[in-house]
């Protein structure tokens, strides 16, 4: 079975993916991408740490990192799961909203930033035993990691054009109550990828890997089974290398 390499999203680390690490011996790319402030630098950081022939699980911003890794080194990737993510360019008002959160964090601290940022990221009624560790995780990341990562997101490369080039098995994983990356967005991404299968996790929001780990893991397991039954990723080498 291919090694699962996990690419966290904004303000997230291995704590979001405890269930995936346990189920799949997942390797979480560490250290908030060493503080990188561009999607390209994040992709290079991850490529330097992943084994060849790995499967990628990119969550939220990590989905964009996974697509950039494919653009750069498709021959090293056996399959990709893109979860709770997007491929659209920067939208009207996005920069102002992200910088308002950054300003709040610099005035009042990381906990105040997370108090504003995190609630819309989870499903209504999320239990404290799920929410509180996520709040601690994002707060621990700190304001300057947030600054670096929103710079990466606001200067992100085109991702939509990568979708039809994907030849490996792909899973698009959405969540029923994800207000940031809604189901309609996940369907559109899946429709643009010839090899994609779409899964929607019920009763979960943007932090689906921790909110509904059993259902989320089923989608990942299905992807890994597809990879095992697919010819070697060396077949990817030539359109792109």
214, with CB counted inside 10 A (0-12, 13-18, 19+), is exposed
User: pTM of the predicted model, to two decimals?
Assistant: 0.95
Q: What is the CA radius of gyration of the chain?
A: 17
Name the pLDDT band for 31 (thresholds 50, 70, 90): confident
Check pLDDT > 90 for residue 232.
no
List C-alpha distances in Å: 52 to 46, 89, 121, 233: 11, 30, 33, 9
What pLDDT, in 10s, does the model give residues 11-25? Answer: 999 999 999 999 999
CATH class given for the domain over 4-91+152-240: alpha beta
Of the candidate ranges 49-53, 190-194, 232-236, the one whose mean pLDDT is the lowest:
232-236
Find all residues with CB under 8 Å of 147, minimum gap 6, and list them: 37, 102
The per-residue b/e assignment along 138-148, b for 16 or more CB within 10 angstroms, e otherwise, is: bbebbbebbbb
Check pLDDT > 70 for residue 237.
no
Check pLDDT > 60 for residue 236.
no
pLDDT at 240 (0 to 100)? 30
pLDDT at 38 (0 to 100)? 98
In this prediction, residues 71-87 reach a mean pLDDT of: 98
Check pLDDT > 70 for residue 239.
no
pLDDT at 90 (0 to 100)? 98
| Count of Cβ atoms closer than 10 Å to residue 93 Cβ | 8
Helix/strand/coil (H/E/C) assignment for every residue in the chain: CCCEEEECCCCCCHHHHHHHHHHHCCEECCHHHHCCCCHHHHHHHHHCCCCCCEEEEEECHHHHHHHHHHHHCHHHEEEEEEECCCCCCCCCCHHHHHHHHHHHHHHHCHHHHHHHHCHHHCCCCCCHHHHHHHHHHHHHHCHHHHHHHHHHHHCCCCCHHHHHHCCCCEEEEEECCCCCCCHHHHHHHHHCCCCEEEEEECCCCCCHHHHCHHHHHHHHHHHHHHHHCCCCHHHHHHHHC
* Angstrom distance (rounded) from CA 41 to CA 72: 11
Domain ranges of the chain: 4-91+152-240
Dihedral, CA of residue 187, residue 191, residue 197 and residue 201, to nearest 10: 0
pLDDT at 230 (0 to 100)? 81
Is-contact 181 86, C-beta < 8 A? yes
In this prediction, residues 187-192 reach a mean pLDDT of: 98
In this prediction, residues 118-147 reach a mean pLDDT of: 98
The percentage of residues in the chain with a pLDDT greater than 90, rounded to a whole number, is 93
């Amino acid at each position: 079975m291919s090694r699962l390499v996990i690419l966290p999203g904004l303000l997230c680390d291995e704590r979001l993916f405890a269930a995936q690490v346990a189920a799949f011996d997942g390797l979480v790319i560490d250290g908030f991408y060493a503080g990188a402030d561009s999607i390209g630098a994040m992709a290079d950081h991850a490529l330097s740490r992943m084994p060849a022939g790995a499967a990628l699980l990119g969550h939220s911003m990590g989905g964009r990192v996974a697509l950039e890794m494919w653009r750069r080194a498709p021959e090293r990737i056996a399959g990709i799961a893109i979860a709770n993510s997007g491929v659209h360019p920067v939208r009207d008002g996005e920069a102002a909203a992200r910088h308002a959160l950054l300003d709040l964090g610099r005035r009042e601290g990381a906990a105040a930033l997370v108090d504003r940022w995190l609630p819309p990221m989870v499903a209504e009624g999320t239990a404290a035993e799920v929410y509180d560790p996520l709040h601690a995780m994002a707060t621990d990341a700190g304001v300057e990691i947030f600054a670096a990562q929103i710079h990466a997101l606001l200067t992100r490369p085109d991702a939509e054009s990568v979708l039809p080039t994907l030849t490996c098995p792909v899973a698009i994983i959405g969540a029923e109550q994800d207000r940031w990356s809604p189901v309609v967005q996940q369907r559109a991404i899946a429709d643009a990828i010839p090899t994609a299968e779409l899964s929607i996790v019920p009763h979960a929001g943007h932090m689906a890997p921790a909110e509904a780990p059993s259902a989320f893991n089923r989608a990942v397991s299905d992807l890994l089974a597809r990879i095992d039954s697919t010819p070697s990723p060396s077949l990817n080498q030539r359109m792109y290398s």
